[in-house]
Amino acid sequence: MNGLTRLLGLGMMAAASSVFAGDTPAPPDAHLYIGWPNDGEAIDSCQFRVWFGLRHMGVAPAEIDKPNTGHHHLLIDVDLPPMDQPIPNDRNHLHFGGGQTEAIVEVSPGTHTLQLIMGDKDHIPHNPPVVSEKKTITVRC
């Protein structure tokens, strides 16, 4: 019974990921994280550098079709976009299609959230999606 429940769970997860993710596979152990700033960081500048951390996967510019690669997107003050469509390109969804692995961002004073998500050559999240934890920072300037 326990095994059956687990099997059902796995089946549902598989079904969910196939519906709500793009077609480009990502390594199952790919790990995306924001190297800096830390969660809860208070920053005395409205302009600061964000480090993009990625393990068990590589970076490639947009439009480059290489297995186990993608390019970084930084989400600012916004929740995750749909996982089966191109990531929007606006002030809340910054694209790093040149293969950049860090960025200087500028925000208004106050509390902000930061989160990273990898996109494939067409800016669509991978399967499974490669997403960092969301961090909350406070900025004064």
Site residues (vs another protein, CB under 8 A): 35, 51-55, 57-61, 64, 66, 68-69, 96, 98-102
Q: How far is residue 13's CA from residue 66's CA, in Å, rounded to a whole number?
A: 26
Shortest reach from residue 64's CB to another protein, in Å: 5
H or E stretch including 68?
Answer: none
C-beta of residue 36 within 8 angstroms of C-beta of residue 76? no
> What is the maximum span of the chain, computed from C-alpha positions, in angstroms?
58
Q: Please, which residue, 48 or 96, has the CB nearer to another protein?
A: 96
Shortest reach from residue 13's CB to another protein, in Å: 27
Bridge partners of residue 53, in order along the sequence: 33
Q: Please, which residue, 53 or 88, has the CB nearer to another protein?
A: 53
Shortest reach from residue 103's CB to another protein, in Å: 10
Shortest reach from residue 115's CB to another protein, in Å: 18
Q: Please, which residue, 57 or 131, has the CB nearer to another protein?
A: 57
